[in-house]
Structure 1
């Protein structure tokens, strides 16, 4: 059974645009310029990885805003189709993962296929692709990755962000 996020475009348009916002718990945590730059880098790296286009953004001392364009998943995933699709997927994964991890992943996929478990190898690839073109997963990973970095830097523990996140579909005429 395949589930789709409410933030995955399903209509006739090639992409949908959302105004995304998220605030720190209680608004108490105040980011300095180094922390804002770290958050910006996480946002842009995750955007490149996930296929989300950040149209514009605003990083404040205790929250952020993004205008994010989410492409149609089916269209975006076409880049990984065909005989060299898996190689293209592995190349794309280099945005987030080390050569060592990708070597292990590649070996795992080869081993599964050598043992006649092609379906498991394909499921593994589909699990990786599931993270693409999904606004919910994109924001979740941005917040998790930045929280780990921030908490380590600040010597703190626990939740950094209030609530999940808020988003509004940006609609225009035509």
Structure 2
């Protein structure tokens, strides 16, 4: 069966997952995590891509990224990140061969409804995996940066939904932390996981119709029913 063409749109957020080949460990030491994040910081600026959320697990990564006008920059970023990390780990371990699965998964996200939901999904990965008790206890996700004062130097971009949570940085951080601590609705988890697995859109039927008009393509695997609203 031929691959489904990837949907990439300028200025829209994209939830991306890339896994290690055969689920092998990609990040074994703190230096591995630090190297990947250093590359992400450098490449996002070079390619003009916004980073709204991330989480580096031991054998895969979750990213929430928004390209500008050039949609090809998203693929360029993922290719460069994968290539740099592969060369780094091969050199450290004295090995050759691939480190990642050949194709990363991606899903265009409906900003006004699911952007915060996807951020929460990404930053709660270590909690769901029972690696930590709280999101703030995990060092390698964007949650700690998100709770920093944005007036200080930080490379995490300000997503529009986070900025609407309150009139001040302190209020936004407080409300987002409360949002993270809320129980995630089951249908929200199913929607995000299913959309990512199938390369579908993370959004409601209105969003699907909107993207079909933009792309001129039929979006298959439509979800049945309307998902519950998040915060």
Q: Please tell me the TM-score bracket, short chain as reference.
A: 0.5 to 0.7
Task: Map Cα deviations across residues 60-99 of structure 1 (whole Å, 9 max, x no partner).
Answer: 11110111011123xxxxxxxxxxxxxxxxxxxxxxxxxx
CA contact (8 A) 1:29 1:62 kept: yes
Do structure 1's residue 39 and structure 2's residue 36 form an aligned pair?
Answer: yes
Q: How does 1:107-122 map to 2 (within 5 A)?
A: none
Match of 2:78 in 1: 139
Equivalent residue in structure 1 for 2:19, among 18, 23, 27: 23
Match of 1:68 in 2: 65
Question: Counting strand residues as a fraction of each chain, which structure ranks higher?
Answer: 1
The alpha carbon displacement at 1:8 in A equals 4.4
5+ residue gaps, structure 1: 10-14, 74-131
5+ residue gaps, structure 2: 1-5, 114-231
Query: Hey, what's the Cα distance between the residues in 1 that align with 2:47 and 2:54?
Result: 17
Query: Hey, what's the Cα distance between the residues in 2 that align with 1:45 and 1:133?
Result: 17
Match of 1:154 in 2: 93
| Length-normalised TM-score, structure 1 | 0.56
Over 3 Å counting, the alpha-carbon distance change for 1:17 and 1:151 in structure 2 is: same
The alpha carbon displacement at 1:163 in A equals 2.5
| Length-normalised TM-score, structure 2 | 0.43
CA contact (8 A) 1:71 1:133 kept: no
RMSD, matched Cα: 2.0
Q: Report how many residues are paired.
A: 107
Stretches (4+) displaced over 6 A: none
Secondary structure of the structure 2 residue equivalent to 1:158: coil
